[in-house]
Amino acid sequence: MNCDACKASQATVFLTQIVDGKMQKVNLCEACSKEKGVTDPTGFALADLLLGLGAAQEMERGGTVQKCPTCGFSQADFKKTGRLGCGACYQTFSEGLATLLKGMHKGTEHIGKIPARALQSIQRDSQVRTLQRDLRKAVAAEDYESAARLRDQLKQF
Amino acid sequence: MALHNILTSTGDWLGGDGPHHQIVVSSRVRLARNLGNFPFPGWAKKNERLQILEAIKPQVELLPEMSDAFSVYSQDLSALEKQVLVERHLISREHAAKGLGSAVVMNRRQTLSIMINEEDHLRMQAIRSGLQLKSVFKMIDKLDSLLEERLDFAFSPQLGYLTACPTNVGTGMRASAMVHLPALVLSEQINQVIQAVNKIGLAVRGLYGEGTEALGNLFQVSNQTTLGEKEEDIIARLHKVIEQIIEHEQNARQMLLQKRPNTLLDNIGRGYGILQHAYSMNSKEALNLLSFMKLGIDLGFFPEPCRQPVDELFMETQPAHLQKGTSQKLAADERDSLRAEIIRSKLAAFPKPSVGSGGPGNGASHSSAN
Ligand SMILES: [Zn+2]
Ligand SMILES: [Zn+2]
């Protein structure tokens, strides 16, 4: 049996894990199992590896974009490594990643911690959107006094 | 501070005094973070990796928690030093393979460790003895909040913290507990437990050894998913499951004591005998026998002062820890002899297992002398 990672050497390390009731098997050669850190007790590596192997195929099916404009990373690179090139890759390959993330995680939206800096800009964005909506309403209602005040507030952002 | 000082002290989390420390060896939480304006380490060019490193390392060193830190570039660590850090769970195997462009910063108590340019720009971990996932999370969360005041982390309102591997995106958090489950293994209930835990989206795997083999009956339970759930909820879920595992293990111990005391005593007695008298022992055998010694102490067959030396042996008998004590390079068979020697000397003063009243082995320690 050949190694699932390099497809060249004889597999000597056989891994089985049950994820969401489904059995997943991965066969690796000595070199790849070391390289992938299968013996790493820290817990990151194995899950990544197991999901990573199927992940690339999943993304290939879904996506149409070939290269990330920010970092030049391609789908072929993802297939090879199971890793992405940069943060913008999530946007670039969002189509293909959507299915992948859905199958991999509990949900598709982050509901956890937000860094303080990001929180500020998220709040600012939503404030701007609220003001713009109110401004449209005020203009439609011909309430020019409010409109002028809202416009001034928007200018401050 | 010199690495030497770090390595000669065992680190707080090995002290073994946290809640439920008999069954839960340690709790650990890791966060993955990246800078927004650079490629991930695996895709970054060498000069970019160096820029990332120089942007992050000084900020990490400035943290109040790191005032007594050991901070070093990966290329300045020897292969052996890296291996020792891996055995201490202070760096990952993957990080040990890194050279120029990576670094590690850890506090003196070895409860905090920050890898720079591992798979992500930052992998930050907190680790403590026993079951204390919540406080361990708080430790690392605080550190993260301090760092993000000074560093711009890659973050998307929809997907959360962006990581090199999509399996970590969202919270970027892996929380785990290392648990010692000899009775569940002995009574062959461990697979049921693993399957039940897997079903609710948590992963269980052997700490040492490959595949399903778990040397030393040590397992790691961790969250499998990072997106779509709050950090606190992940921690709470994991905590609850670990509590249930502890209960199962305790029940299994009571069952063995009542229904199969001879199986139990045989394993503990053999562990004691072999460890005290062997002249060559590989690390697999050592871990498995030490596991039964640990169980024997938990069950009161050995006095409490035996606990710390046994806990220390789990670490000290690992290959790199053996090697660091000597100047010449040890071959495998030399390591096995040295391992046996260290164990013999540590266990020399241990009394025989004292089998309490009630069991069929009652008085066995005395009658064996007749
Ligand atoms: Zn291979
Ligand atoms: Zn990219």
Residues A47 and A93 in one domain: yes
pLDDT of amino acid A157: 75
Give pLDDT tens digits for B173-225. 999 999 999 999 999 999 899 888 888 888 888 876 554 568 899 999 999 89
- Confidence band for B97, pLDDT divided at 50, 70 and 90: very high
- Confidence band for B10, pLDDT divided at 50, 70 and 90: low
Residues A7 and A35 in one domain: yes
Residue B15 confidence (pLDDT) above 70: no
Using a CB–CB cutoff of 8 Å, tell me whether A101 touches chain B.
Answer: yes
pLDDT tens-digit profile, chain A (157 residues): 777 777 788 777 766 554 444 556 677 777 777 666 555 433 334 444 544 555 545 555 555 557 899 999 998 888 888 899 999 999 999 888 888 898 889 899 999 999 988 887 777 888 888 888 899 999 998 898 889 998 988 888 7
Residue B365 confidence (pLDDT) above 90: no
Residues in chain A closer than 8 A to B167 (CB atoms): 47-48, 51-52, 55, 104
- Rounded distance between C-alpha atoms, residue B249 and residue B184, angstroms: 6
Residues A48 and A94 in one domain: yes
Residues A50 and A103 in one domain: yes
> Cβ of B211 and A16 within 8 Å?
yes
> Minimal CA–CA distance to B125: which of A43, A119, A51, A50?
A43
> Cβ of A117 and B166 within 8 Å?
no
More confident residue, A4 or B300: B300
Nearest CA in chain B to A48: B167
Residue B112 confidence (pLDDT) above 80: yes
How many Å lie between the centroid of ligand 1 and the Cα of residue B167? 22
More confident residue, A45 or B336: B336
Residues A65 and A104 in one domain: yes
- Rounded distance between C-alpha atoms, residue B49 and residue A144, angstroms: 55
> Cβ of B227 and A39 within 8 Å?
no
Listed by number, the residues of chain A in 60-89 with a beta carbon closer than 8 Å to a beta carbon of chain B are 71, 73, 77, 81-87
Cβ–Cβ < 8 Å for B147, B60: yes
* Mean predicted lDDT score pLDDT of chain B: 90
Residue B17 confidence (pLDDT) above 80: no
CA distances from B307 to B246, B263, B291, B298 (A): 19, 22, 11, 8
Residues in chain B closer than 8 A to A39 (CB atoms): 93, 209-210
Interface pTM (ipTM) of the complex?
0.84
- Confidence band for B304, pLDDT divided at 50, 70 and 90: very high
Domain membership of residue A123 as a residue range:
116-156
Residues A53 and A90 in one domain: yes
Residues A103 and A121 in one domain: no
Residue B167: beta bridge partners? none
> Cβ of B198 and A18 within 8 Å?
yes
Residues A50 and A88 in one domain: yes
Residue B128 confidence (pLDDT) above 60: yes
Residues A50 and A80 in one domain: yes
Out of B158, B162, B195, closest to residue A87 by CB? B162
Residues A101 and A140 in one domain: no
> Cβ of A43 and B157 within 8 Å?
no
- Confidence band for B24, pLDDT divided at 50, 70 and 90: very high
- Rounded distance between C-alpha atoms, residue B156 and residue B173, angstroms: 16
Residue B74 confidence (pLDDT) above 70: yes
Indicate the number of domains in chain A: 3
Residues A101 and A75 in one domain: yes
Out of A112, A115, A118, closest to residue B230 by CB? A112
Cβ–Cβ < 8 Å for B231, B138: no
pLDDT of amino acid A109: 93
Burial of A134 (0-12, 13-18, 19+ CB in 10 A): middle
- Rounded distance between C-alpha atoms, residue A67 and residue B314, angstroms: 48
Residues A55 and A91 in one domain: yes
More confident residue, B122 or A58: B122
Residues in chain A closer than 8 A to B141 (CB atoms): 113
pLDDT of amino acid B241: 95
pLDDT of amino acid B135: 96
Q: Where are the alpha helices (DSSP H) in A1-62?
A: 30-35, 44-62
pLDDT of amino acid A18: 47
- Rounded distance between C-alpha atoms, residue A3 and residue A9, angstroms: 6
CA distances from B366 to A149, B104, B269, B296, B304 (A): 94, 53, 14, 18, 21
Percent above pLDDT 70 for chain B: 91
> Cβ of A97 and B225 within 8 Å?
no
Residue B256 confidence (pLDDT) above 50: yes
Using a CB–CB cutoff of 8 Å, tell me whether A46 touches chain B.
Answer: yes
Cβ–Cβ < 8 Å for B54, B48: no
> Cβ of A117 and B119 within 8 Å?
no
